[in-house]
Amino acid sequence: MLPLSEIHAMHQSVDDGWRSPVADAVATRWGIAPGSARYWRSSASHVFVVPPGSDPRGVLYLRFVPATLRARASLEVPADLLAALGADAGVVVPLPSLAGRLVETIPTPHGDVHAVVVPRAPGAELDADDLTTAQATAWGSALARFHLAAAPHAPLVASLARPEHARPRNGGDAFTTLADIAAGAGDAALAEAAVLLSAEWVLATAGLPGGVLHGDFELDNLRFEDGHIVAFDVDETSIGPYALDIAFAVRDLVGSHGTLDEPERPALLSAFLEGYQQVRPLGDDERDVLSLSSTHVSARSLVHGHEVLDAGDSPDDPAWLTDLRSSLAEQDTRSRGVLLAAVRPA
């Protein structure tokens, strides 16, 4: 997620009609009429939507991040991956700009931003409460197909690990990164837990099947239509064990108070895993590491949350910002608890 101060600043640029001069500057590079894009949300990036009837290309989403916070490659590599996979692989392909580029770096009233534009994915968004076991099975199969289709593009995704593109928020061993963060923050208990889990992670994942991970194959990044699933937003793509991507995907099935061994929605989780194995069988070693992978997801959540909570604690802040900070802080507390519990004696 973007820092709360950045999200607040974007909110302040938006008028009563949800328009922003920042979005208009981005829209121009894709030939989108000024005033068409309306603010949608801010999370890992700022997102504006061009609603129906505003552009002959249909509903479009403008996604951009400040150049001071993210390297251009953090958008460019995912966009190139989507284009390389193509619509036949069940992903949304970004639209080229008027200059023929998938990603543009654009000066705006908010500073330089890196931007990409994608069309709306066909189908409906589902949440875990609405999901059937058949849909969960299709979801698992779709992730396995993504793994197989994306495998040849591992060198492209691996380029994100180059020093000039360093992205500590993705890939690698999140436990090690978290140990450094926790030690710097004076949280000795969390730092010790992260060190122990890092050693376990290295041993448990050595030699596991892996390759290109989607990184966020959750329901809110998918659309369902007649048994067909379309994925988008591969901004969290990285190289790693496939078991970790499964753990990323099924967080809603595990639930905020469950574990992968005792999920809140066991029937749906079983259906997801069954669907995955219909396309790419899971070995016993991969199954054995799923629980640890779920703990790794909590570690990554804490790494992502580092330096995000930089606003929302002032009496002058709007209520929505204070509430968002509180929600994120509660999530961090839960994730910390997961890691500490993982190293406590049974």
Looking up tokens 């580029």, which residue turns up? 101
Q: Where are the beta strands (DSSP E) in 54-198?
A: 60-66, 104-106, 113-119
The tokens describing 251, both together, are 């967080």
pLDDT digits (tens, 9 = 90+) for 34-52: 999 999 999 989 999 999 9
Angstrom distance (rounded) from CA 78 to CA 160: 10
DSSP state of 262: S
User: 315 has which bridge partners?
Assistant: none
pLDDT digits (tens, 9 = 90+) for 72-118: 999 999 999 999 999 888 899 999 999 999 999 999 999 999 999 99
Angstrom distance (rounded) from CA 223 to CA 121: 7
The tokens describing 288, both together, are 């054995």
Model pTM? 0.91
The tokens describing 89, both together, are 């692989």
Angle between helices 242-249 and 266-279 (to 10 degrees): 140
pLDDT digits (tens, 9 = 90+) for 222-247: 999 887 899 988 999 999 999 999 99
User: 231 has which bridge partners?
Assistant: 91, 222
CB of 196 closer than 8 Å to CB of 343: yes
Set out the domains of the chain in order of their start, with CATH numbers: 4-119 (3.30.200.20), 133-343 (3.90.1200.10)
Higher pLDDT, 322 or 225: 322
Query: How far from each other are the two terminal CA atoms of the chain, in whole angstroms?
Result: 34
Angstrom distance (rounded) from CA 303 to CA 298: 9
- Calculate the average pLDDT of the chain: 92
